[in-house]
Homo-oligomer: A and B are copies of this chain.
Amino acid sequence: MAKKPSDDQEQDGGKIGGKIATRADDYPQWYQDVIREAELAEPAKVVKGCMVIKPHGYAIWEKIQRDLDARFKATGHRNAYFPVLIPQSFITKEAEHVEGFAPELAVVTHAGGEQLEEPYVVRPTSETIIGYYFGKWISSYRDLPLLVNQWANVMRWEKRTRMFLRTTEFLWQEGHTAHASHEDAKDEVERMLNVYGDFAEQVMAMPVIRGIKTDSEKFAGALTSMCIEAMMQDGKALQAGTSHDLGQNFGRAFDVKFQTEGGGLDYVWQTSWGVSTRLVGGLIMTHSDDAGLVLPPRLAPIHAVIVPIYRKEEEHAAVMEAAERIKAALSEIDISPPRSRYRDFVEVVIDDRPLRPGAKFYEWERRGVPVRIELGPKDLAKGQVCVKMRVDSAAGSGKEFIPEADFIAGFRARLDTFQSELLRLARARMHARMVTIDTWDEFLAAFSGEQSTFAWCHWDGTRETEAAIKEKTKATIRCIPLPGQGPDPEPGTCVFSGKPSRQRVLIAKAY
């Protein structure tokens, strides 16, 4: 495999219309090429480690946002907004938190033409400042649970960046909740993890493993972190969402006390949970192929493209008339989830540019449009359309010729089938690649060079072993699986140390 710089800032955004590397030849280059060719984003370059999210990429993020937002509201959360600047002293109030975030902070030292008495940091996450206001808002058990969420930009000054997966500024949501008991908080942590897991599978068609982070991988300031981990096509893991049990750590740091139902006084139990524009990176690496982007219909900004095909100018009008008729009929189809808070209609583009059909096919494939409709005089004569799906299912592959009315009547079902098919394919890929590894030699072979996979291994539970595995192979413990998410717990011996282990954990290299 060719080695290319994987840091965005070393890459030029490049001109659109270039080649897409194959996954087999150069996976990191393929990823950047897909993003460029689908016009999802480009490295900002003039702002270190940032990216510009272009309209096609942002439209996917908007669809992610509105579906997640509806799920947060259905579970009782309300959105709010807290300042982007946080007094620097706030960050230092929770010992583990400052240790985790201090090296990555961007600091505002001057404002309004003057040096500030106390600098502000641009929020890397908002536990501290939200903790502060929780302290002002909560005084009794009657104020609990307090369930808020914020959609915002955050900044972490990362050294190596990669579009969507790790950028200095990124967009995300951060849920912050306060509860009267640890039990309630733990329930919330698991509830939101499942919201993420369900969203990943139902909407992104991205299978995930739900689990618990080890102590060395947990959020800086949490008691426990739960996560969803997805497998990318190179076998690496992507931490796609996290949900944290903060215990009383921030409650203590910001003195958030409440009168209990029993008349005592206690610190609140808090949680936080978040997903970010990183999900777009996960989406790309889950479904896309060497021809470019592949999108599940529930997140596709455009569902179908109609390419009129004609040789003679006198055929043009009739073909365009049919194209407009089909577009109008498809655009009427409501594809919203039942009783959802948003309404989705089928989005159709007619591509009548003066280009060869082949060039158009190529371009719309790269942009990940699920359904392509070719329409020529012969099809019109037969009352049919020629349909090509962006990814062939095992059942029907290649072009289909379908009567126009049947095609329209079946369009919603066609999208649903395509959505399920992408999930099935992604699941199949993940499971085909999952392995159970019991010996260190096998382990080294599985993770040699740039290779990765999802390996279920016994681990002795120590930080030392975890660090040694990481140092020797770059693979990390992604999570301790929740019940049903991995092999059933059974005792064994650690793949590295040979010491006793209670259950297998998921190990992989990670983004």
Residues of A within 8 A of B (CB): 13, 42, 44, 46-48, 50-55, 58-59, 61-62, 78-87, 90, 102-113, 119-120, 122, 129, 132-133, 136, 148, 152-153, 155, 157, 159, 168-169, 171, 336, 340-343
Residues of B near A119 (CB, < 8 A) are: 110
Residues of B near A107 (CB, < 8 A) are: 108-111
What are 22 pairs between A and B in contact, CB < 8 Å? A13-B136, A44-B83, A47-B87, A50-B83, A50-B85, A52-B82, A54-B80, A55-B78, A58-B79, A59-B79, A84-B122, A106-B108, A106-B112, A106-B120, A107-B110, A108-B109, A108-B122, A109-B110, A113-B157, A340-B343, A342-B342, A342-B343
Do B109 and A109 touch across chains, with their CB atoms under 8 A apart? yes
Residues of B near A81 (CB, < 8 A) are: 52-53, 58, 61, 171
Do A105 and B111 touch across chains, with their CB atoms under 8 A apart? yes
Residues of B near A48 (CB, < 8 A) are: 111
Least distance between A246 CB and chain B CB atoms (Å):
20
Least distance between A323 CB and chain B CB atoms (Å):
20
A78-B53 CB under 8 A given contacts A47-B120, A112-B157, A336-B343: no
Name, among A84, A136, A153, A168, the residue most crowded by chain B CB atoms within 10 Å (CB to CB). A84
Name, among A42, A47, A86, the residue most crowded by chain B CB atoms within 10 Å (CB to CB). A47
- Measured in the bound complex, the distance between the Cα atoms of B105 and A107 in whole Å is 14
A46-B132 CB under 8 A given contacts A81-B53, A81-B58, A155-B84: yes
Residues of B near A136 (CB, < 8 A) are: 13, 42
Do B103 and A113 touch across chains, with their CB atoms under 8 A apart? yes
Least distance between A382 CB and chain B CB atoms (Å):
33
Starting from the known contacts A84-B153, A336-B343, 16 additional A-B residue pairs (CB-CB under 8 Å) come to A42-B136, A46-B132, A47-B87, A52-B83, A55-B148, A58-B80, A58-B81, A83-B169, A84-B84, A102-B113, A103-B112, A105-B112, A106-B112, A109-B110, A113-B157, A342-B342
A106-B111 CB under 8 A given contacts A52-B81, A83-B47, A169-B83: yes
State which of B55, B80, B132, B341 has its C-beta within 8 Å of the C-beta of A79. Answer: B55
- Measured in the bound complex, the distance between the Cα atoms of B48 and A109 in whole Å is 13
Least distance between A91 CB and chain B CB atoms (Å):
13
- Measured in the bound complex, the distance between the Cα atoms of B336 and A336 in whole Å is 14
Which B residue sits closest to A136, measured CB to CB?
Answer: B13
Least distance between A61 CB and chain B CB atoms (Å):
8
- Measured in the bound complex, the distance between the Cα atoms of B85 and A51 in whole Å is 11
Do A80 and B52 touch across chains, with their CB atoms under 8 A apart? yes
A78-B58 CB under 8 A given contacts A47-B85, A83-B47, A342-B343: yes
